[in-house]
Amino acid sequence: MERDAFLTRVRSGISGATLPPAPELDPGPLTPELADVDLVERFGTVLATLDGTLHTGDPRAAIEEIIAHHGPGPLLAWDDEHLPLPDAVHRFLQSGCARTDGVVPHSAEKRLTHQGGYFDVLYGLTGAEAGFAETGSIVVRSGPGRPRMASLVPLVHIALLPSDRIFRSPMHWLTEHGADVAAVANTVYITGPSRTADIEQRLELGVHGPREVHVVVIE
Amino acid sequence: MTTSTFSERGAAAVGSAAAAAVGDGARHLIEKRAAAVDAYPAMDAMRDRVREIRLHTLAHLDAYLADFADSVEAAGGHVFFAADADEANAYILGVAGEAGAELVVKSKSMVTEEIELNGALEAGGLTIVETDLGEFIVQLSGDRPSHIVAPVLHWTKEQVGHLFADQLGVPYADEPTELNQIARTHLRRIFLRADMGISGVNFAAASTGTIAIVTNEGNGRLTTTAPRVHVAVMGMERVVPTVEDLGVMLEVLGRSATGQSLTTYTNLITGPRRPDDDDGPDEFHVVIVDNGRTAVLGDEVSEVLACIRCGACLNICPVYRTVGGHAYGDVYPGPVGSVLSPILFGFEGREELPYACTLCGACLEVCPARIDLPSLLVNLRERVAQEGTAFSWLDRPLDAYEFAATHPTMWTASIDGASLAGRANRGGWFKRLPWRGKTWTSVRNLPAPAVTSFRRWWKKHHGA
Ligand code: SF4
């Protein structure tokens, strides 16, 4: 249907409507009132309840511990310049991980071949724009050198989060940084590992996305 | 919609293993909701904001849809306005044709079920794969979903094991961990070579053209990232003014649906892959679907369009818990479906839906948009009664309603489900329900009734 005809029809629907009175929107703050807490501590506690892990302390040691646990494997990582720890990628490579190129070609055929290579990715290494203490979530934004797939296809996702980027709740971040959302094609809030409870309500991790989410705090 | 009636389907379902599983699942979800709401002191304030934003947007829906379309186009996406299911399906087929698509992956979406998109695309020669684990099971088996957020509440793990063994050629397994692994491997191959991804839209922000798709599994992200074309299909009422308003919806959605403060993946998409981006779809289309919604907008029950599809009203509903989702006959079950379906798809064959309700008020108590479902159902009952539609089982159309109104103590005394079932038979209340009282005796565990909310509701509406 033509846009104008569609919208005219919608307008006619509204004019006959018996919607409850709709006041103009309250211009007051949309941020929920929540008690003050230690942001890093709350973030870690909530993330743990979601089966994710927060690493404070020496970030390099945390990375090495993760690699030691799973062994070397294919890595999909953001470019160094977008990571708050300059030698993070290097640590993986040094441990014998092979880096997979994150730039997906445009041509249909090359795209298929390239993405076929994502089947076995073990590690995904990304930055994080923000963290939410209330929900244990991180915000990950796509862009050049910041492929979306790095936080999606691997079995183990490691996100590097600067400690001063932890906000009280999603709305605390959004009311300050709302413009950042649409400034890129994809912004995602990631709240723990991929999960499902579809079969008999039993929780299972890693059904499509990562099975492990490690948030490494960078001071 | 099948040709049987709600009461026939309901009577057949009561006491079945499938309906019992749905009941158990729904109870579990509503307990998780209660815990999440308790842990979040701002819930009530946020529900007020949700209601205000939703009603405001609906009152200016044409303007916000125009804004939204402009914003999507400014971000490099395409927008199509579909008056009905046929137009929507034809457009999507056209997009697939132009892109030379053959294999299509889908993430769970109610509106695509409503417009029967899968059938239309398959008729056009495309292969469609549902990727939400529950929907994947539903699709493989040819079954139908039983719940808005948990489509296979009615399946056992053994049934899933046999299905996978038969359909995917894998060895039989019945451990959920193994079953998940089988699905992950099978679907991952499909994701990475699919040509087109089709998603729903939970919310859309008019000012930026951003759409939100929430999933727990990550299939929503894969569907919208791996294929070179992404088509998002949305009911036209999904829009809100800004990204911040969209954030307010997210504050209540996960908590109300599954008791999660946020669903695992909240995917916010603004247009296709940008020129220098590493990955993402090259094409992005949004299909805005009316398909009867304008009629709802002009109806006395228009408030129902404020719904954010959390499923809480299903989970709390004693009727839904007893008969399961299929008895309702349409895509949208439970209290919200009983209001929406008759207006969206027509009263014929759906006259009983407004009566599939004890008017206990529990749905209003949990609804994050504070939609007054009991009043809307009463409105529809009055209209059904006025139409003079034959209801041989109803001596007077409002009997159940009046009884509930004059016997609030029944709820107070009904915490013990068994005693409720006994009383209900004696009191004759449930005899007024379509399938008559006797089947209710098999109900062992009715929910703790929302006595206070019912009284409050009654007072507000009747000044008693
Ligand atoms: S009517 Fe309310 S409770 Fe029911 S699904 Fe919609 S938003 Fe949720």
Structure tokens at B157: 């793990």
The whole-number pLDDT of residue B3 equals: 64
In angstroms, what is the span from residue B312 Cα to ligand 1's centroid? 6
Q: How far is B81 from chain A (nearest CA, A)?
A: 6
CA distances B101 to A84, B93, B166, Å, are 40, 9, 28
The whole-number pLDDT of residue B415 equals: 28
Q: Is residue A139 part of a domain?
A: yes
Long-range pairs for B401-404: beta carbons < 8 A, 24 or more residues apart: B401/B359, B403/B427, B403/B428, B403/B429, B403/B432, B404/B358, B404/B359, B404/B360, B404/B429, B404/B454
Class of CATH domain B40-291: alpha beta
Ligand 1, residue B363: give the atom nearest the CA. Answer: 3
The total number of structural domains that make up chain A: 1
Ligand 1, residue B148: give the atom nearest the CA. Answer: 5
Does ligand 1 come within 6 angstroms of the Cβ of B432?
no
Does ligand 1 come within 6 angstroms of the Cβ of B370?
no
The whole-number pLDDT of residue B147 equals: 64
Pairs of CB atoms within 8 A across A/B: 303
Instruction: Give how far the C-alpha of residue B407 lies from the chain's centroid of Cα atoms, to the nearest Å.
Output: 31
End-to-end Cα spacing for chain B: 39
Q: Is residue A92 part of a domain?
A: yes
Question: What parts of chain A have a pLDDT lower than 50?
Answer: none
Instruction: Pick B243's closest partner by Cβ from A3, A174, A191.
Output: A174
Domain that holds residue A78: 36-218
CA distances A21 to A119, B48, B369, Å, are 53, 14, 14
In angstroms, what is the span from residue A154 Cα to ligand 1's centroid? 35
Q: How far is B361 from chain A (nearest CA, A)?
A: 19
CB atoms within 10 A of CB A174: 27
Strands (DSSP E) found in B127-248:
127-130, 196-199, 203-205, 210-215, 229-235, 239-240
The whole-number pLDDT of residue B405 equals: 38
Q: Is residue A17 part of a domain?
A: no
Ligand 1, residue B304: give the atom nearest the CA. Answer: 1
Please list every residue in chain A whose beta carbon sits closer than 8 Å to the beta carbon of residue B274.
143, 184-185
Give 10-residue mean pLDDT values along chain B (464 residues). 73 76 85 94 94 94 97 98 98 97 94 94 96 91 70 85 94 94 95 96 98 96 97 98 97 96 97 97 98 93 95 92 82 90 88 89 96 94 75 39 37 30 32 31 34 41 41
Question: Strand A195-196 vs strand A204-205: parallel, antiparallel, or unpaired?
Answer: antiparallel
Contact A199 B300 (CB under 8 A): no
Contact A201 B155 (CB under 8 A): no
SS3 B230: strand
Structural domain boundaries in chain B: 1-34+319-368+376-390, 40-291, 393-462
Contact B290 A11 (CB under 8 A): no
Closest CA to B397 of B433, B373, B361: B433
In angstroms, what is the span from residue B5 Cα to ligand 1's centroid? 24
pTM of the model: 0.88
CB atoms within 10 A of CB B361: 24
Q: Is residue A13 part of a domain?
A: no
Q: Does the interface predicted TM-score (ipTM) exceed 0.85? A: yes
The whole-number pLDDT of residue B326 equals: 78
Side chain identity at residue B308, one-letter code: I
Nearest CA to ligand 1 atom 4: B313
For residues A176 and A172, what is the distance between their CA atoms, to the nearest angstrom?
7
The CATH number of whichever domain residue A83 belongs to comes to 3.40.50.10420
The whole-number pLDDT of residue B462 equals: 44
In angstroms, what is the span from residue B304 Cα to ligand 1's centroid? 8
CA distances A210 to A214, B269, B329, B427, Å, are 10, 20, 37, 54
Please list every residue in chain B whose beta carbon sits closer than 8 Å to the beta carbon of residue A131.
none
Contact A14 B62 (CB under 8 A): yes
CB A59 within 8 A of CB A216: yes
Q: Is residue A91 part of a domain?
A: yes
In angstroms, what is the span from residue B347 Cα to ligand 1's centroid? 21
Q: Is residue A210 part of a domain?
A: yes
End-to-end Cα spacing for chain A: 54
Residues whose CB is less than 8 angstroms from the CB of residue B180 and which lie 6 or more positions away in sequence, other chains included: A196, A199, A204, A206, A207, B133
Contact A209 B218 (CB under 8 A): yes
Contact A7 B248 (CB under 8 A): no
Q: Is residue A7 part of a domain?
A: no
The whole-number pLDDT of residue A26 equals: 75
Q: How far is A83 from chain B (nearest CA, A)?
A: 16
Helix, strand, coil share (%) of chain B residues, nearest 5: 55, 10, 35
